Each structure stands twice: as C-alpha cells, then as structure tokens.
Amino acid sequence: MILIQERLQGEPYKLLIGCILCNLTKGSKALPILKKLFALYPTVEDIANSKQDDLVQILMPLGFQNRRAATLIKFSKGWILASEEDYLEDLPGVGKYAVDSYRLFVHNDWSVEPDDKELVAYIKRNKQCHTY
C-alpha cells in the first residue's frame, strides 16, 4: 500500500494538505479528492486565493467540508507567510500526524515516533532499508 505522503513527498505543502484531508478519513477516500483539488488549484497560492464555497463543493465527499475548506485556505495563507519549517505546528490544520509525516517523507527523518498506525506500519516495513 502506497501512502499519500509517499506520492507527495517532493511537494511539501501538498503533502501537508494531504495530511489535513486525511484527518478523520481514509487515504483511499482522500486521494481522488486530492487529485481533483490539485488539478483545479495546482499551487499553494491558488488555494490561498480560492473561494471557500468552491472548495466546499470539492471536499463534500469527505465530510466536514466547511471546516476543511476554511482550514485549507488558512493553512495555505500561513504557508505562504511562514519563513521557517520550525513553525509547522503553528499552521492551521497541522498536528502531530502532519508534522511526523513531514519529518519522515520530506526530511527523511527515520527517528520519528508516530502515533498513527499507518505511519507506524510504514516505518516498520521500510526502516531497515534506511539504516546505515
């Protein structure tokens, strides 16, 4: 099974958006919505400048669409303004799962100790390949 984070590791802000959308839903359900979202809004600036009602329509199949849409816009505006990755936790919608994913997939930091069962399983499956 390929995690959304694996697909998006080369695009850090998209990886974090994927994590935001995976909150309270399965990756398999979020992936088609992410593809549609990024097809319509390919850059962080596009999402930051989007209309919440337009995002709500895209996010509806995931539930919590109003909250998710507002969070994506706030996150995107925060990402644009952020100057250092040290403040990831301060960005709207970014919690431990997203920070752990960011550290693991963007920074290749295998010392991450996630709580998420899918990240734990991923590390168990792949950590030996990344041990020197």
pLDDT of 76 reads: 96
pLDDT of 73 reads: 98
CA 93 to chain CA mean position, Å: 9
Average pLDDT value for residue range 112-130 = 88
116 catalytic per annotation: yes
Examine the pLDDT at 132 and tell me if it is beyond 50.
Answer: no
Give the contacts of 99 (CB within 8 A, at least 6 positions apart).
88, 89
pTM: 0.91
In order of 23, 50, 52, 92, 122, the CA distances from 89 in angstroms are 15, 23, 23, 8, 22
How would residue 83 be classed by pLDDT, with cut points 50, 70 and 90? low
Percent of the chain exceeding pLDDT 70 equals 94
pLDDT digits (tens, 9 = 90+) for 92-106: 999 999 999 999 999
Among the listed residues 53, 54, 115, 116, the single catalytic one is 116
